[in-house]
Amino acid sequence: MNEPMSFPNPYWLLNETEDTETAFVVVLVSLPTNDAVVKSAQQLLDDNNIVIDSINTLPDKQATEFFISATTQGTWEIFQKLLVLVLNIDADVFVLPVAGRKKKLLICDMDSTIVQTETLDDIAASIGIGEQVCEITARAMRGELDFRKALDERVGLLKGVSEKLFSEIAEEVLINPGAEELVNLAQKHGIRTVLVSGGFEPIVKVVAANLGFDHYVCNKAEITNGKLTGKVREPIVDANTKLNVLKEEAKQLAISLEKACTVGDGANDLPMLQAAGIGVGYKGKPLVRSGTPYQINTSSLTSILLMMGIT
């Protein structure tokens, strides 16, 4: 019971020869607020000889913060045990160093992260080929298909479709819980916000504008006489592009990647998730669930604000 899970090491993990006691915060979000879960987390910390310096309850956020002092090695072991603890209950847990907790850059994937669906699938569904395209999308997001090939195949099936469909989907797309508050409060706290998507500009620009993102990067479909040609204009936004956007944005802000937070759900998000200080999997596909310890599986996107100490 409570055996550690296996994830890539976080940026704050030091080797044993350099390791020192550090101040960390454990953020536990339980929906609904569950005193038993809080007590179980506290007991786990006690059982592993982790000193709890203070506890901060945030009832309106359905969250509890435990401020602890421990080595980075010990904290990493505890973080992984806490992830096991919340695995089958309605709770999420995050552990971060107190120093540098708030980030300066937030980069978000769009489909199935900021919005509830895969918008390319929505377009396909509207013309009766939703099931066929959805299967290709699902395999690509699981990392079973090359993203570029999967994108070309899906867009090829949309050849001849009117570009007006983009506008219709943009008007109907549903935003995930907490997305608007996340972007709004991040900006109020001086954090640059960027939407980066493998989706297409007529939809991405509307979502970005409605939520108030500072910038967006996305794919562009080739359109002739108001209809899709079935091709995508270069350059393609794929996993490498998303990673490069992270690096370029950090460079422009003159910050290290540790000062950035990224969030996404699919295999093409994983490189940027693993490169950032906090890379958050939002209800992620299997590769993402095993690719980063920062997981939002039950709570909303506002949990990212809690990670950064923004309440």
| pLDDT of 160 | 93
- Quote the pLDDT of residue 33: 65
Closest by Cα among 228, 118, 229 to 165: 228
- Phi, psi for 177 (deg, rounded to 5): -55, 130
- Amino acid letter for position 269: D
Output the pLDDT for position 31. Answer: 77
Average model confidence (pLDDT) across the chain: 94
DSSP category for residue 283:
S
Say yes or no to pLDDT of 1 above 50: no
| Residue listed under structure tokens 């009766």 | 128
Distance (Å, whole) CA 287 – CA 132: 23
pLDDT band at 82 (very low <50, low <70, confident <90, very high): very high
For the ranges 122-136, 185-199, 257-271, 279-293, the lowest mean pLDDT is seen at 122-136
Contact assessment for residue 121 and residue 198, using Cβ atoms and an 8 Å cutoff: no
CA dihedral 254, 257, 259, 261 (to 10 degrees): 130
What pLDDT is recorded for position 140? 86
- b/e code 162-197 from CB counts within 10 Å (16+ = b): eeebbeebbeebeebebbbbbbebbbeeebbbbbbb
Catalytic residue positions, numbered: 109, 111
Q: Which residue type sits at 203?
A: I
Instruction: Report the run of H or E that residue 196 belongs to, with start and end.
Output: strand 192-200
Q: Is the pLDDT of residue 4 over 80?
A: no
pLDDT of residue 5: 78
| Vertex 80 angle, CA 75 and 85, to 5° | 115
Q: From CA 197, how far away is CA 216, in angstroms rounded?
A: 8
State the pLDDT at residue 35.
86
- Contact in structure between 265 and 297 (CB atoms under 8 Å): no
User: Residue 2's pLDDT is what?
Assistant: 58
Is 275:256 a contact under the CB 8 Å cutoff? no
Mean pLDDT of 212-220: 97
pLDDT at 255: 98
Q: What is the pLDDT of residues 145-178, one digit of tens each?
A: 888 888 899 999 999 999 999 999 999 999 999 9
Domains and CATH numbers, the chain: 1-99 (3.30.70.260)
**Dihedral of alpha carbons 105, 193, 93, 265, sign:** negative
pLDDT digits (tens, 9 = 90+) for 11-61: 999 999 999 999 999 999 997 667 889 999 999 999 999 999 999 999 999
Residue 311 has pLDDT above 90, yes or no: no
Rg, C-alpha atoms of the chain: 20
The arithmetic mean of pLDDT across residues 76-101, rounded, is 95
Per-residue pLDDT band at 94 (split at 50, 70, 90): very high
Beta-bridge partner residues of 193: 106
Q: What is the DSSP letter of 16?
A: T
